[in-house]
Structures are given as C-alpha cells and as structure tokens.
C-alpha cells in the first residue's frame, strides 16, 4: 500500500497508508494530520496543502503544471524552489508515487 510520511512542524511524524489514486492532501485530511488544510478540496485553487518533499523522492515527482506553478508562488510559508509542491497534485500508487516523505510548513493560511 502506498505510504506518506509527514514530518510536522514541531517535530512529530505521521506515517499514513494511502489508497492507490489518492493524493498527499487527501491522505493528510482523511487521517487528521495537522498542518495541511486542503481548503478547496484538491483543485489547486487555494495553496493550503503546501508541502516540502524530501529527498530521495524529488526525482519521482510528477511535473509541475502551469496552474500549480502559479499557486506555488503564493503559498503562506516561503516556497522552496526545489522541494515545494501542492499535496493535492501528488498522486500515490497507480502509476504515481509509491512512497513520499514530506515536511509540513509552519503555516498554510
């Protein structure tokens, strides 16, 4: 089963099993991982599911769409050019990532 490891601001870690086809934002919201809001429900509209992806998963990430690129410029916590992504755009399993490890920013709003 695909897996997401969340490192929350403040140090706690959540390891969450995810259904194939789901994404990092949904995994966080469904499992009550603090620090990920997902206010728009996963349409790259609100930039409140911002995460910093850890090595060694950076190369396995899907390409950033133009819309995600524009939203990433407006995150509440500073963007990291290499590591910042919107969790709703990171699909797990089913041709997507099998495992991903992310840092949750200090703020989303």
Partner 1 sequence: MCPRPRSERVVVIGAGHAGVQAADALRAGGHDGPITLVGGEPVLPYQRPPLSKEHLAPGGTPVPLPLRAERFFADRRIDLRTGVTATALDRTSRTVLLDDGAALPYDVLVLATGAANRVPAVPGADLAGIHALRTLGDAQALRAGLSRARSVLVVGAGFVGLEVAAAARAHGPAVTVLEAADRPLARALSREAAGHVAEVHRRAGTDLRLGEAVAAFTGRRGRVTGAVSSAGTEYRADLVLVGTGVAPRTALAAAAGLPVVDGIVVDECLRTPDPAIYAVGDCASHPSVHTGTRIRLESVQNATDQGRHVAAAILGGARPYTGVPWFWSHQGALKLQIAGVRLPGDENVLCGDPATGRFSVCRFRDGRLVVVESLNRPADHMAARRLLAAGRSPEPGRLRDPAFCLKEFAREPAVA
Residues contributing to the site for partner 1 (CB under 8 A): 21, 26, 29-32, 38-45, 47, 67, 70-71, 73-74
Counting beta carbons within 10 angstroms of the beta carbon of residue 18, is it exposed (0 to 12), middle (13 to 18) or buried (19 or more)?
buried
CA distance 104 to 42: 17
- At closest approach, how far in Å is the CB of 33 from partner 1? 8
Q: Which is nearer to partner 1, 32 or 95 (CB)?
A: 32
Residue 96 per-residue DSSP state:
S
Name the nearest CA neighbour of 2 among 14, 20, 29, 15.
20
Q: Which is nearer to partner 1, 27 or 97 (CB)?
A: 27
Q: Which is nearer to partner 1, 43 or 62 (CB)?
A: 43
Q: Are 62 and 104 in contact (CB under 8 A)?
A: no
- At closest approach, how far in Å is the CB of 103 from partner 1? 20
- At closest approach, how far in Å is the CB of 29 from partner 1? 6
Q: Which is nearer to partner 1, 4 or 44 (CB)?
A: 44
| SS3 at position 70 | helix
- At closest approach, how far in Å is the CB of 96 from partner 1? 14
């Amino acid at each position: 089963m695909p897996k997401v490891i969340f490192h929350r601001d403040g140090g706690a870690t959540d390891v969450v099993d995810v259904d194939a086809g789901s994404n990092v934002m949904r995994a966080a919201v469904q499992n009550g991982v603090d620090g990920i809001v997902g206010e728009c429900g996963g349409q790259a509209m609100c930039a409140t599911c911002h995460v910093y992806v850890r090595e060694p998963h950076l190369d396995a990430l899907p390409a950033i769409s133009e819309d995600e690129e524009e939203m990433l410029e407006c995150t509440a916590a500073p963007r990291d050019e290499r590591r910042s992504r919107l969790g709703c755009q990171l699909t797990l399993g089913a041709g997507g990532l099998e495992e991903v490890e992310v840092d949750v920013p200090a703020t989303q709003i």
